[in-house]
Amino acid sequence: MGVDLGTTYSCVGVLKNGTVQILCNDQGFRTTPSTVTFVRDLSITGDASVLSITGDASVALQKPAANTVFDAKRLMGLKFKDVAPSDLKRWPFRVEPDVFGKARIMVSLEDEEKAFSPEQISSMVLTKMRKTARAYVCSPITNAVLTVPAYFNGSQRQATKDAGGMAGLNVLRIIDEPVAAAIAYGLDKRGGAGKNILVYDLGGGTLDVALLTIEDRKFEVKATAGDRHLGGEDFDDRIVEFCMRDFRRKNPEKNITDAVALRRLRTQCERAKRTLSSSVQATIEIASFYEGIDYSCSLSRACFEELCMDYFCKSIGLVESCLRDAGMDKENVHDVVLVGGSTYIPKVKGNDPRVLQRQGAQQLHQP
């Protein structure tokens, strides 16, 4: 199997009958949240983990914020001193150094705390991906190919491989995500040596831009750029802030501090963002949002784009930086590959004829 182990979402595919099939999980989704929730001696991974802290699932959690771990990929292979202070303030769980100075995650379980390495958390996500693949092929899965960002150093790549080993996988190869995206679109088989490909990967938590060149069906990464804190979650934050201001305007005496209420709001804001990719208007509705008060508001695509305009402009600056580092003009780019769920946003996708749409990827896969 092949796994894109993402910061916020992961997906899995298998090679069957000469073609790659991207699989749906047990909830029917092609992407699975890279989130793990601990309840006593159990660990809940993926969609069930997210649902359990939004009030939409029947799982009774103790201290759900402290029990739920996400963004483990940001800690893979890092020393504690290298972890971004902004992340340490944002996460509901604690991160502290182990005896070797590496970052470890502290999870509160009833009256005790347990320590997990980022690799252990990622291995739980990979185990979930493995179960999805096994259910599809109806046979054991042992071999895997994993993808990592192009900027990952040797320690981070080894940590990813270690996570695969903990999940019982034989990791055959670690592939740079931009290269994996180009291969997925079959660009190495389309001919034209010396073609330049810009891969724009805007996911849930990070933006990665890479410029590749094809020579003899081999990819060479010419330059990379990106922001490890720019992605779909940041767009969600802007919508949440918009809704919080709107709620306080309508209910000036209320100050929302409840973590579950905020999580429910965030979930609805994310759904509204997805709706705006195909519609010009979305409605956010939450029954008994806070202290029995219902909340609803409308969000237009134009309003959403205005809320996030600085992020869109920043991403363009990173593309320009990547081109400068490669010593190349945008006219020399033959294809643009969009990767990541956030590239469904119309403002991001644009209408450049060089942009390869996802619908075309499946056609390129055909033998």
Helix (H) or strand (E) holding 301: helix 301-307
> Which amino acid type is present at position 197?
I
> Beta-carbon neighbour count of residue 221 at 10 Å?
15
Do 217 and 253 belong together in one domain? no
285 is catalytic: no
Please check whether residue 352 lies inside any domain of the structure.
yes
14 near 21, Cβ under 8 Å? yes
Do 215 and 284 belong together in one domain? no
Over residues 37-46, the mean pLDDT reads 84
Query: Domain with 249 in it: what CATH number?
Result: 3.90.640.10
pLDDT at 115: 93
Among candidate residues 71, 73, 119, 270, the one labeled active-site is: 73
pLDDT at 323: 95
52 near 37, Cβ under 8 Å? yes
Residue 349 pLDDT exceeds 90: no
> Beta-carbon neighbour count of residue 141 at 10 Å?
21
Q: Which of 286, 306, 326 is the last residue of a domain?
A: 306
Do 213 and 102 belong together in one domain? no
Do 154 and 9 belong together in one domain? yes
pLDDT at 105: 95
**321: buried, middle or exposed (CB in 10 Å: 19+, 13-18, 0-12)?**
middle
177 is catalytic: yes
122 near 5, Cβ under 8 Å? yes
pLDDT bin (cut points 50, 70, 90) of residue 58 is very low
Phi-psi region of 121 (alpha: psi -120 to 50; beta: other; left: phi over 0): alpha
pLDDT at 217: 76
Dist. CA 16–CA 365, nearest whole Å: 12
Please check whether residue 88 lies inside any domain of the structure.
yes
Using the structure block, give the residue that is written with the tokens 């190869």.
173
Q: What is the length of the chain?
A: 367
Among candidate residues 4, 208, 233, 236, the one labeled active-site is: 4
Please check whether residue 184 lies inside any domain of the structure.
no
188 is catalytic: no
pLDDT at 59: 37
Helix 309-325 × helix 232-250 angle, to 10°: 160
Do 199 and 325 belong together in one domain? yes
Do 149 and 284 belong together in one domain? no
Residue 63 pLDDT exceeds 70: no
**Apex CA 93: angle with CA 88 and CA 95, to 5°?**
50
Residue 54 pLDDT exceeds 60: no
Do 14 and 105 belong together in one domain? yes
Among candidate residues 177, 208, 233, 234, the one labeled active-site is: 177
| pLDDT (tens digit per residue) in 109-166 | 777 888 999 999 999 999 999 999 999 999 999 999 999 998 899 999 999 999 999 9
Do 285 and 350 belong together in one domain? no
| pLDDT (tens digit per residue) in 287-330 | 999 988 999 999 999 999 999 999 999 999 999 999 999 999 98
Over residues 336-354, the mean pLDDT reads 85
Dist. CA 200–CA 207, nearest whole Å: 8
Do 277 and 299 belong together in one domain? yes
Dist. CA 109–CA 255, nearest whole Å: 28
Looking at the DSSP assignment, which residues form a beta bridge with residue 20?
Answer: 15
pLDDT at 53: 57
Q: In terms of Cα–Cα distance, which of 137, 200, 144 is closest to 173? A: 144
Residue 236 pLDDT exceeds 90: yes
Q: How many domains does the chain have?
A: 3
pLDDT at 6: 92
Query: Domain with 58 in it: what CATH number?
Result: 3.30.420.40
**59: buried, middle or exposed (CB in 10 Å: 19+, 13-18, 0-12)?**
middle
Helix (H/G/I), strand (E/B), else coil: 96: strand
DSSP state, 82? G
Residue 362 pLDDT exceeds 80: no
Residue ranges making up the domain that contains 270: 232-306
| pLDDT (tens digit per residue) in 80-95 | 999 999 889 888 889 9
| pLDDT (tens digit per residue) in 178-225 | 888 888 888 877 665 678 999 999 988 899 999 999 887 788 889 999
Dist. CA 365–CA 367, nearest whole Å: 6
Do 131 and 267 belong together in one domain? no
Please check whether residue 293 lies inside any domain of the structure.
yes
Residue 23 pLDDT exceeds 60: yes
Q: Which of 288, 306, 324 is the last residue of a domain?
A: 306
| pLDDT (tens digit per residue) in 253-289 | 888 888 788 888 998 999 999 999 999 999 999 999 9
218 is catalytic: no
Distant-in-sequence, close-in-space partners of 207: CB < 8 Å, separation ≥ 6: 200, 201, 226, 227, 230, 231, 315, 318
Please check whether residue 101 lies inside any domain of the structure.
yes
Do 7 and 139 belong together in one domain? yes
pLDDT at 135: 93
Establish how many alpha carbons lie within 13 A of residue 274's alpha carbon, considering only the half-sphere containing its beta carbon.
10
pLDDT at 191: 60
198 near 336, Cβ under 8 Å? yes
Among candidate residues 47, 71, 201, 208, the one labeled active-site is: 201
Residue 359 pLDDT exceeds 60: no
